[in-house]
Amino acid sequence: MEQRQEAEKQEEEQALAYRDRIGFVGAGQMGEALICGFIRAGICSPSQLCACVRSEERRRRMLELGLQVFGDATLGGAAELAAASDIIFLGVKPQYLDGVLEALQPHVTPNHLIVSIAAGVRLASLEAALPEGSRVIRVMPNTPCLIGQAASAYVLGNHATNEDAAKIYMLLSSAGLAVSVEERMMDAVTGLSGSGPAYVFLAIEAMADGAVAAGLPRDKALALAAQTVSGAARMVLEGSGDGSLTHPALLKDRVTSPAGTTIVGLAELETSGVRGALIRAVKAAAKRSENLG
């Protein structure tokens, strides 16, 4: 009985998300990753999506994906997008957000849910730039959303409702992991999972370089490096098989034979300060996010 109620609740929530029309002000790297993630997950169809774009290249790409396209948000596009959307994602760089909010503000109604993905920009500034009582959610997604593997965090603004929370969770979790956090944690999230794909890409590239130096062809080195990172990550996420995280130190120890190859590699990483470098990278990016706000 409980299971049936849960399934009915889930269907009801899904139906809510399915009906929404979603507009993207700015559809660049992250906007496109969200759009493709949602379409791929089947949470909405391209006909429910629209975007404001500034460049011809972006216009062509959005049309190719099947979206309705409007022009620059600050040159009339915002009004058209607001009329065609229930949920509005703000997908421009933080430095363009003020102009976009100014253009959007007169067209935001109580029926709109505004979702900002801008790094560092606080809910208080977003709410202050929008009509009193606006429903706002701040999200930090990441680019693996493109292939349904996002790590996203979200926090509700003062006027966002439980229904809004269910909607954003439905949308984000359709394309990966979604967790709710307190706003004071958003800078840390940005430094970790927002920017993190870039650290991992760098690590994959460097590991492949090492293998090339040791004699492996580039294509095989890259494929093995990427699959190693992916497989190791899945073991942390799924290794215990019961949904709980497995501590990476435990998994590391299982790879490391006495007087074997791995301990020699690990010792090099420790001598080079890789552990400290990663900690400092996440902290520096979190600090930058704090300063952007």
Ligand X SMILES: NC(=O)C1=CN([C@@H]2O[C@H](COP(=O)(O)OP(=O)(O)OC[C@H]3O[C@@H](n4cnc5c(N)ncnc54)[C@H](O)[C@@H]3O)[C@@H](O)[C@H]2O)C=CC1
Ligand Y SMILES: O=C(O)[C@@H]1CCC=N1
Interface ranges with ligand X (CB under 6 A) = 25-26, 28-31, 52-55, 58, 72-74, 77, 91-94, 96, 100, 117-119, 140-143, 194
Identify which of residues 209 and 283 has a Cβ nearer to ligand X in the complex.
283
Report in angstroms how near the CB of residue 7 gets to ligand X at its nearest.
32
Report in angstroms how near the CB of residue 212 gets to ligand X at its nearest.
27
Binding partner of 148, given ligand X, ligand Y, none, CB within 5-8 angstroms per partner class: none
Provide CB contacts within 8 A for 264, sequence distance 6+.
none
Which residue has its beta carbon closest to ligand X?
Answer: 28
Identify which of residues 152 and 221 has a Cβ nearer to ligand X in the complex.
152
The C-alpha atoms of residue 129 and residue 140 are separated, in whole angstroms, by 20
Report in angstroms how near the CB of residue 227 gets to ligand X at its nearest.
22
Provide CB contacts within 8 A for 5, sequence distance 6+.
none
Report in angstroms how near the CB of residue 109 gets to ligand Y at its nearest.
29
- Which residues are registered as beta bridge partners of 90? 25, 116
Report in angstroms how near the CB of residue 249 gets to ligand X at its nearest.
28
Binding partner of 31, given ligand X, ligand Y, none, CB within 5-8 angstroms per partner class: ligand X
Provide CB contacts within 8 A for 144, sequence distance 6+.
33, 150, 151, 176, 197
> CB neighbours (10 Å) of residue 180?
15
Whole-number Cα distances in Å, 82 to 17, 56, 160, 210, 260: 17, 21, 18, 50, 61
* E-strand stretches of 144-189: 150-156, 176-180
CB 49 within 8 A of CB 20: no
Identify which of residues 28 and 46 has a Cβ nearer to ligand Y in the complex.
28
Identify which of residues 81 and 160 has a Cβ nearer to ligand X in the complex.
81
Collapsing DSSP to helix, strand or coil, 238 comes out as helix
Report in angstroms how near the CB of residue 174 gets to ligand Y at its nearest.
21
Report in angstroms how near the CB of residue 52 gets to ligand X at its nearest.
4
Identify which of residues 28 and 239 has a Cβ nearer to ligand X in the complex.
28
Binding partner of 118, given ligand X, ligand Y, none, CB within 5-8 angstroms per partner class: ligand X
Binding partner of 55, given ligand Y, ligand X, none, CB within 5-8 angstroms per partner class: ligand X
Binding partner of 100, given ligand Y, ligand X, none, CB within 5-8 angstroms per partner class: ligand X
Residues that bind ligand Y (CB under 6 A): 119, 190, 194-195
Provide CB contacts within 8 A for 33, sequence distance 6+.
141, 142, 143, 144, 145, 146, 150
Identify which of residues 71 and 99 has a Cβ nearer to ligand Y in the complex.
99
Scored b (16 or more CB within 10 A) or e, 197-216 reads bebeeeebeebbeebeeeee
86, with CB counted inside 10 A (0-12, 13-18, 19+), is middle
Binding partner of 158, given ligand Y, ligand X, none, CB within 5-8 angstroms per partner class: none
Binding partner of 254, given ligand Y, ligand X, none, CB within 5-8 angstroms per partner class: none
Identify which of residues 99 and 210 has a Cβ nearer to ligand Y in the complex.
99
